[in-house]
Amino acid sequence: MKIVFDEGKIWAKTEHGEAELDYRIKDNYMIIYHTGTPEEDRGKGIAEELTDRAFEFAKKNGLKIIPACPYTQYYIKKKKITEY
């Protein structure tokens, strides 16, 4: 799956549409406020892959994450991430 970075959005075309993670960068923070996948593609790890990329991007660019999105909050607990 090809993941594309646009300003404010990380997305991928899926079999049933488009999965996306929406974010804003303010000061030294990456605010993740929405993650979504088409209903037929849920449970396939696509949202996790998009969120992995967001966290990699934040780390590479010295940004801290603000998890305003419920999925991102779930991801942090699942991966047992303590610093973000």
Instruction: Express each pLDDT in 9-60 by its tens digit.
Output: 999 999 999 999 999 999 999 999 999 999 999 999 999 999 999 999 999 9
Cα gap 41→35, rounded to integer Å: 13
47-80 tens-digit pLDDT: 999 999 999 999 999 999 999 999 999 999 999 9
- Show the domains of the chain with their CATH numbers: 3-79 (3.40.630.30)
Residue 50 in contact with residue 13, Cβ under 8 Å?
A: no
**C-beta of residue 23 within 8 angstroms of C-beta of residue 54:** yes
Stated pTM of the model: 0.94
